[in-house]
Structure 1
Amino acid sequence: MKSARKTGTKKSRGRPATGVGTQIGARWSPEVLEAIDDWRRNQTDLPGRPEAIRRLVELGLKAKK
């Protein structure tokens, strides 16, 4: 009689990985979030908040040079 268990790799639980890099969590004041949202609404492709923050950081780092 065969065993009821399957052999092989076990399926991992949870959400699959979505990207590469270091995740950084931060708390934002309502005023800063409002400014970010205002900026992103003026963009042609309306990025989400995380993408808007990434773009703003890149712009800030380029302006520093």
Structure 2
Amino acid sequence: MVRLQPADLAALDSWIAAQDEEPTRPEAVRKLIRLGMTVQAE
């Protein structure tokens, strides 16, 4: 389980709402982690 601060949870929910197929919160967290791991550090 991951606990998020209210502001982070609101941002996650906003991101979810902007997706074509709205993922569940756990699916969204997994997707964002995968996306973050593919971005090269600057």
Using the size of structure 2 for normalisation, the TM-score is 0.85
Pair 1:52-2:28 in alignment: yes
Q: Return 5+ residue gaps in structure 1 as ranges.
A: 1-24
Q: In structure 1, the residue corresponding to 2:8 is in which secondary structure?
A: helix
Measured in 2, the distance between the counterparts of 1:64 and 1:29 equals: 26
| Greater than 2 Å deviation, 4+ residue runs | none
Please identify which structure carries the higher helix content: 2
What percentage of aligned pairs have identical amino acids?
39
Q: Return 5+ residue gaps in structure 2 as ranges.
A: none
Pair 1:39-2:15 in alignment: yes
Q: Of the two, which has the highest radius of gyration?
A: 1
Question: Which structure's relative contact order is higher, taking Cα pairs within 8 Å and 6+ residues apart?
Answer: 2
User: Residue 61 of structure 1 aligns with which residue?
Assistant: 37
